[in-house]
Chain A
């Protein structure tokens, strides 16, 4: 196997995007994504069974398109990588079975990799906004915000030393956007709709709660509370519902734009303040922002502001690499190959709650 500039094919199916991407070392060759998002619109959120059915039908065409775009054949590939978790169990299963069949049919080594760490791995691709090459061990962090997850990670080594500093204890931030968008009658997906409307509203008109910020959860730097770097968005969603009901009960028009702006401010404020706090307290000076909610204009703005005030360098990969895709899986796979890590074999099980400490599964 070529371990210096390996050609790696990555497969992603942990949520509603079927992705196949191909990289050579840190160079991106193709990134093909088929999304079932349209099919979830009428439900107002991702329906796992519908996503899984869509993965089954999308996989081979997506693979074919990705190979064609990269101008390579399966014979050229050095290794295959697949998301084995975390994610929706039934959805992961499709990508994992397809990846294993690909390994059986081609005889190529297979890496079972962690979806969250792959979001960080994509930052190492030379794609315009990549992490600096001198991103030193121990100073790199990642803030991942999407419809499926909300985490702050510390990365000492992208191939074998990743630590979860904090995460949401209930809804993911993107999920909260979807639920609130539904409450406000703005449709699905909620992120872009709220982001757009929030620009015309007054974020200060209403104040919504910031979850898990009370002293009993935060503690102090020396004696951290139980949720110092964690988030919770379910109380926020309830507060928005209450607020809408109160306007309706009084027979007043619901100030949808103000509510959208105030909700967005509450989400973005608590995400960025806790992320920056974690960075400060862990000596993180390079932060990567990933996940689909990285598209949110206010999140990007406030993260940039607070990072620069705290002396943290922020990297935001191009948006099509922030959302779930196969190239990020391939990018992390290539890092594993280059680091001499052994492949996972074909006997592993997908793990819907795979911890970030498992960057890839051992054989």
Chain B
């Protein structure tokens, strides 16, 4: 099974993940910055497909990160994934973006049985979720995703750029203090869950915050 995975919840990234490929990965790319998704994502995917010699017809499913993440960036990936899925006629799934980093943590030497994943939510807040990890299992989401101040998070080891920014109040793992969710791990997570016969959710974004719009109150009368 060949999956095209896309995530733009923080940086822009995409990957071709397959259970036939060595290490499970055919190709991948990710950017450093969090603000140029609309420019770099489509060329990145186009080059990646060309380099891997893969066309839309070869792909079995598309997986997109559905956040949480800054809204405009997040939508870049979902809009891209939905359109590719429509044109190629391939199934589309949405995975929570923090799951990608949970899997990266699980596959690292610093894995612990209970941990947090946190990314930057701007406005002095983080997006976060709590995971548990049993030997030989995929990480399991036990709480979240949420958005809130770092100081309000459970007292557990914390992984990801959101933890790195607030290392003064979180037990941030230094090896992960600049890490962002990556489509590479998102695709592998999806592949593992599909292989286990699980149903995956759709691509509805997890915004967690409403738009900032205020309904205007009644105009004050001059009297």
Contacts and interface: CB of A to CB of B under 8 A. Distances in A.
Dominant secondary structure at the B interface: helix
B223 A248 contact: yes
B221 A49 contact: no
A103 B38 contact: no
Chain B interface size, under 10 / 10 to 19 / 20 to 34 / 35 or more: 35 or more
A320 interface: no
Interface string B38-82: 111111011001000000100000000000000110011111111
B55 to A, nearest CB: 10
Contact of B221 (A47, A63, A94, A248): A248
B196 interface: no
Interface in A90-127: 90, 93-94, 96-98, 100-106
Chain A interface size, under 10 / 10 to 19 / 20 to 34 / 35 or more: 35 or more
Dominant secondary structure at the A interface: helix
A59 to B, nearest CB: 7
Contact of A59 (B83, B84, B205, B212): B83
Contacts of B39: 347-349
A248 to B, nearest CB: 5
A44 B218 CA distance: 11
B215 A43 contact: yes
Contact of A248 (B205, B213, B222): B222
Contact of A49 (B45, B212, B223): B212
Nearest to B45: A104
A347 B72 CA distance: 17
Nearest to A101: B83
A267 to B, nearest CB: 21
B201 to A, nearest CB: 16
8 contacts: A52-B75, A56-B79, A64-B86, A102-B87, A104-B84, A105-B88, A347-B42, A350-B38
Given A96-B38, A101-B84, A102-B87, 7 more contacts: A100-B38, A105-B88, A246-B222, A346-B42, A346-B43, A347-B40, A347-B43
Interface of A: 42-44, 47-50, 52-53, 56, 59-60, 63-64, 74, 89-90, 93-94, 96-98, 100-106, 182-183, 185, 244-246, 248-249, 251, 346-350
Interface of B: 36-43, 45-46, 49, 56, 71-72, 75-84, 86-88, 205, 207, 211-216, 219, 221-223
